[in-house]
Structure 1
Amino acid sequence: MASYAEKPWLRNFDNNVPPSLQPYPDHSLHHFLIEAGTHHGDSVATLSSAHLPVVGRVKKTLSYREVNAHSDALAAALVDMGLQKGERVAILMPNCAQFVITFFAILKAGGVVVAVNPTFPARKIQDTLIDSGATMAITLSLFYEALKGVQAMTSVQQVIVTNVKEYLPGLAKFLFTVAREKKEGHRIEKRPDDHWFQDVLTRYAGKKPGVEVVPDDLAIFQYTGGTTGIPKAAMSTHRALVANSLQCIAWLSREGVEDIFIAAIPLFHVFGMVAVMSFAVAKHSAMLMVPNARDIDDVVDVIHQYRPTIFMGVPALFNAINNHEGVKAGKYDLSSIYACISGSAPLPPSTKRRFEELSGGVILEGFGMSEAPTASHVNPVRGENRPGSIGLPFPDMEMRIVDLDDEVTDVPVGEIGELLMHGPQLMRGYHGMPTETANALREGPDGKLWLYTGDIARMDEDGYFYIVDRKKDMALIGGFNVYPRNVEDVLMEHPAVREVGVAAIPHPD
């Protein structure tokens, strides 16, 4: 009989994946960008593109040398504007070159990134800014007015604004200015006290921030609604993000291959932030920027034209590609894709099977949390992918499944309980929420700090893990525990069902 302490999952690692990556390098997350800019400066960092009538798709690239230099300049500006080490800076942007520059600039300046979903209602943006205590914000012009509408209620003192066209190719920039900028709300009247992104980069070109950042400094506040619906900021360090970036590299990398990432899932979400951006920068790989993953025409055209090899996504995105008329008609070539990781929701077997048929690559179902940013489990690239499984824990991860009632006793292998994890990428805690932090991070009988995930799971004899449901989603019906995930799996077997969600509601009296 296997046990959690024996780590049976190690037996099923791909041959090129080591059981441990210890010791992890003792440096900041932005050190990856500095290394890329210094030693791989000519390599493409970001590729921004647009499809134009008649002309077709046009592109503009930034090299790692340019991204590193731009982030240095912006970091120097932030320090000059008064940013103190440990203060929070909000980013309100979709996927674009400016996001990458801004993210690493904040880290270089000693700040903490608060990546805000820019499509949030103004009230939710306000709540995030207030809770985080952000003192500065860097925003796309499209979201400038929403930010300015709530700024007075927050701690934000400095605002930098950028326009989406700044890193578009020349002809696309011209056409955007003429036909779309004003119509779609990108053209704004900047307030006198605020700053244009490009003006800042020009003014501080060649300068560096001169701030010492150590691995245990905080890097991000990542907001998670959790099961209660109350947003919590999971605080994570440079050390944690470096560790998870290297775990991703160990799991997916191939010798002698220069991977290209498609950045379709939002970089403001921890999945995109770590498993796309940080992973790509650590490998000095190119990122193909897709500002809106719901624009499936754009997604498939980017894949067809620029040949990405790594694709992180969610089941709904893979499903939408499967059902795209042009893809079904064979007009788009997806064969460059080597590996995908699917997260955030259960991956229907039919979606996995069809996408793999179309691309020739493999979709690996995985699992991760904002509290352990970002991935903790993934199915192996070359080994067995078990249906319904989130796969195997990453190197250096320890797992337990404990009794749902006493929350301490390990359940026998194969039985369900709450999933606990221990590893190098655990968060430090929730910002300003000591009770929630104490509930999530608890010292075990072994003296180690364990993250209580709130997920009901089981492990099989070979170390593959399966998520049954969220602990708080479990319904008690007729004296039996019923898990919405199980009902969803049955409904998904019907050929007429594309997506499904199940929730429990009280039975009327």
Structure 2
Amino acid sequence: MDLLSKNPWINHYPTEIPTSINYEERTLQSYLKEASEKHPKKAALHFLGKELTYQQLYSSALKFANQLTTLGVKKGDRVAIMVANTPQSVISYYGALMAGAIVVQTNPLYVERELEHQMVDSGAKVIICLDLLYQRVKKVWPKTSLEHVIVTGIKDYLPFPKNLIYPFIQKKNTGITIDVDYGRNVHSFVNLLKTGEEKEISLSFDVKEDLALLQYTGGTTGVAKGVMLTHYNLVANTTQAIRWMYKMTPGEEVVLCALPFFHVYGMTVGMNYSIMHASKMVIIPKFDTKQILKGIQSQKVTVFPGAPTMYIGLINDPNINKYDLSSIEVCISGSAPLPVEVQQKFEQLTGGKLSEGFGLTEAAPVTHFNQVWGKRPTGSIGLPWPDTDAQILDAETGEFAKPGQIGELLVKGPQVMKGYWNRPEETQATLQDGWLYTGDMGYMDDEGYFYIVDRKKDMIIAGGFNIYPREVEEVLYEHESIQEAVIIGVPDPYRGETVKAYIVLKENHQLTEKELNEFCRKHLSAYKVPRLYEFRDELPKTMVGKVLRRALLEEEEEKLKSSESDDQLKSS
């Protein structure tokens, strides 16, 4: 079988995108050094009015690396970063890599239990955290292997007079009084940089074997696992992103970084992409539509990686037409399915291209993407990236499925993880013969375009029928009054499971359960129509905008337990 028959998707690659790339065997941090040498005076990042040049960013990362070494960090030690999108998060990330450490990205929203699990599991030696989070870190510290805590605050990199005003605004909004007991093992980030040496640290790396990152899976389906990503994995995936967006010019682009850097998607297509491409990062600490719209207009953003919830939030902002968004050329959407209506509306508003892709933490994260300047079939996650093989596994036969058949998506490529940290059995179950078993159900069409129908674990079996939540959600998004929708399966004594829809309506829109049910019956087979509807003001989400189905399922389980308890009390 020739390559075109085996991998039909490469028929659709434009001449500008190679089917295979010669990846540089370099460390991630070497790209920051290169950018500082080629573009020393160019702005590397913009943060709420404050800018750092590439020369300043490299110098800060180098000083931080030397201070980590002074604190006893050696090659292979784990350094955790629990910071929102700020200059400090970029400095800490690249500084830790320069010191030879393995970065552990930590979600600032973690509660103590989650934080303790990650610190114990990773064996992190140092953590960099926001001052707002210090007391949380302090409580779990004795149960971990942490030796040092480095504390920073949003105000540390704000321009005057914002840096003086911000602490008062922060206290008003959070109610938290900053109380950090600096001492021998608790350090000020700013003070460390003031006294840090600016000398290069000489270390040797095997980029295909040495880890750059322990990226913990979201834990939406169980206990979070540490995904081991090498320098080569991350360099390869970032290189693939650069080659896919071939019209973007090195050293000239402006990238909106509103996706959290502690999430692998924001880290790769936001931070690492910007550094490798010598682009300017417009860093947004948290999702705020006004701040994002102002940032796009004032900084002339050209590249906007985001999640569907971000684009939904922006197109529903009543003031969006007051801003000039015409600088946007490319928007890349991931982390959740992108409704067609959202794609079309956002492209109308900006004049740029919004394309959907697919990935997972275990693949650094991107494996598939729609063409930015080419064919984009409705509902497709696109084509596998260069050097990325993809197949659909038929669960019944154990063979690769034919086009159109639904099965589990398997991927293979240079971006695929080394394995799970300290979990050999789970690694063996997920990585087989070089194939990464994604747990996502989908199919490939005759032309080589891939489609995801749902997570293997999310599939609903009602009355013997397989129902994929994404298909039902796509129909719901077609309704003009619906802003967000999510489908889950809830226990049903007769059908086994039944379909429940959670709905968030657009502002000033009204919709009854009866009207929605009639709408669904026009567009779905009877067995797929939701039997239960619940209207909400908002849905539980991760920081990157992915709806937490698990949280909704847990709510339903609690309701069921409570109902059973009430029944028992009545019968007694």
Structure 2 partner of 1:31: 30
1:284 has 2:278 as partner: yes
* Change in CA separation of 1:28 and 1:418 when aligned onto 2, cut-off 3 Å: same
Select the residue among 305, 308, 333 that pairs with 1:312. Answer: 305
The total of aligned residue pairs comes to 490
Residues 79 and 404 from structure 1, CA distance in 2 versus in 1: closer, same or farther, beyond 3 angstroms?
same
Question: Which amino acid counterpart does residue 191 of structure 2 have in structure 1?
Answer: D
- 2:555 alignment counterpart: none
Normalising by structure 2, what TM-score? 0.83
Distance 1:356 1:186, change over 3 A: farther
What are the residue-to-residue correspondences of 1:389-468 with 2, within 5 Å? 389-406=380-397, 408-443=398-433, 449-468=434-453
Q: Which stretches in structure 1 are left out of the alignment for 5+ residues? A: 50-58, 444-448
The alignment status of 1:362 with 2:353, answered yes or no, reads: yes
Instruction: Tell me if structure 1 keeps the 8 A contact 2:227–2:417.
Output: yes
In the TM superposition, what is the alpha-carbon distance from 1:405 to its structure 2 partner? Answer: 3.1
State the one-letter code of the partner of 2:114: K
Aligned-pair CA distance for 1:88? 0.9
Give deviations 1:172-200, integer Å, cap 9, x for gaps. Answer: 11222455468743733333121111111
Deviations 1:96-116 (A, max 9, x none): 000000001111111111111
313 and 183 in structure 1: CA distance in 2 versus 1, 3 angstrom threshold: closer
3-state SS of 2:486 partner? coil
| Pair 280,132 (structure 1): closer, same or farther in 2 beyond 3 Å | same
Counterpart selection for 1:111 from 81, 101, 106: 101
Distance 1:405 1:307 in 2: 52
2-structure distance, mates of 1:29, 1:224: 21
Contact 2:460–2:468, Cα closer than 8 Å, also in 1: yes
SS at match of 2:364: strand
Which amino acid in structure 2 is aligned with residue 132 of structure 1? S
Match of 2:188 among 179, 196, 199: 196
The aligned counterpart of 2:541 is none
Question: Which of these two proteins has the greater Rg computed from alpha carbons?
Answer: 2
**1:283-362 to 2 correspondence within 5 Å?**
283-293=277-287, 295-327=288-320, 330-362=321-353
Secondary structure at the counterpart of residue 149 of structure 2: strand
Q: Distance in 2 between matches of 1:182 and 1:502?
A: 37
CA distance in 2, matches of 1:207, 1:3: 48
Question: Matched residues in 2 for 1:455 and 1:189: separation?
Answer: 44
Supply the distance in 1 between the matched residues of 2:219 and 2:147 (Cα, whole angstroms): 30
CA deviation after TM superposition for structure 1 residue 2, in Å: 10
Matched letter for residue 274 of structure 1:
T
Aligned to 1:222: 215
1 or 2 for the larger relative contact order (CA 8 Å, sep ≥6)? 1
CA distance in 1 between counterparts of 2:375 and 2:478 reads 22
Inter-CA distance 240–186: structure 2 relative to 1 (3 Å threshold): farther
Alpha-carbon distance, 1:476 to partner: 2.0
**CA separation in 2, counterparts of 1:178 and 1:463?**
55
Aligned Cα root-mean-square deviation (Å): 1.8
What secondary structure sits across from 2:228 in the alignment? strand
What is the rounded CA distance, in whole Å, between the counterparts of 2:217 and 2:267 in structure 1? 14
Q: Which amino acid aligns with 1:506?
A: P
Measured against aligned partners, the alpha-carbon deviations of 1:13-66 in whole angstroms (never above 9, x if no partner) come to: 233111111x211111111111111221111111011xxxxxxxxx11101111
Give aligned-pair identity as a percent.
Answer: 40
Structure-2 change in CA distance of 1:252 and 1:369 (3 Å): same
Q: Is the 8 A contact 2:63 2:196 kept in 1?
A: yes
Aligned residue type for 2:23: Y
Q: Counterparts of 1:104 and 1:273 in 2: how far apart (Å)?
A: 12
Contact conserved, 1:70 with 1:201, CA < 8 A, in 2? yes
Deviation at residue 228 of structure 1 after TM alignment: 3.2
TM-fit CA distance, 1:201: 1.0
Tell me which of 259, 266, 275 is aligned to 1:265: 259
1:127 corresponds to:
117
User: Which shows bigger deviation, 75-84 or 277-286?
Assistant: 75-84
Cα gap change, 1:180 to 1:462, in 2 (>3 Å): same
Mapped partners of 2:137, 2:439: distance in 1: 33
> For residues 417 and 26 of structure 1, what CA distance do their matches in structure 2 show?
35
Q: Secondary structure of 2:19's partner?
A: coil
User: 1:237 maps to which residue?
Assistant: 230
Q: Distance in 2 between matches of 1:182 and 1:352?
A: 37
Matches within 5 A, 1:378-397: 378-397=369-388
For 2:504, the equivalent position in structure 1 comes to none
Alignment of 1:457-496 (within 5 A): 457-496=442-481
The AA in structure 1 aligned to 2:30 is H
CA deviations over 1:341-384 (Å, ceiling 9, x no partner): 11111111111111001000011100011000121111101111
- In structure 2, the partner of 1:18 is 18
Residues 129 and 149, structure 2, Cα contact 8 Å, conserved in 1: yes
Query: Whose helix proportion is higher, 1 or 2?
Result: 2
Change (3 A) 1:495 1:396: same
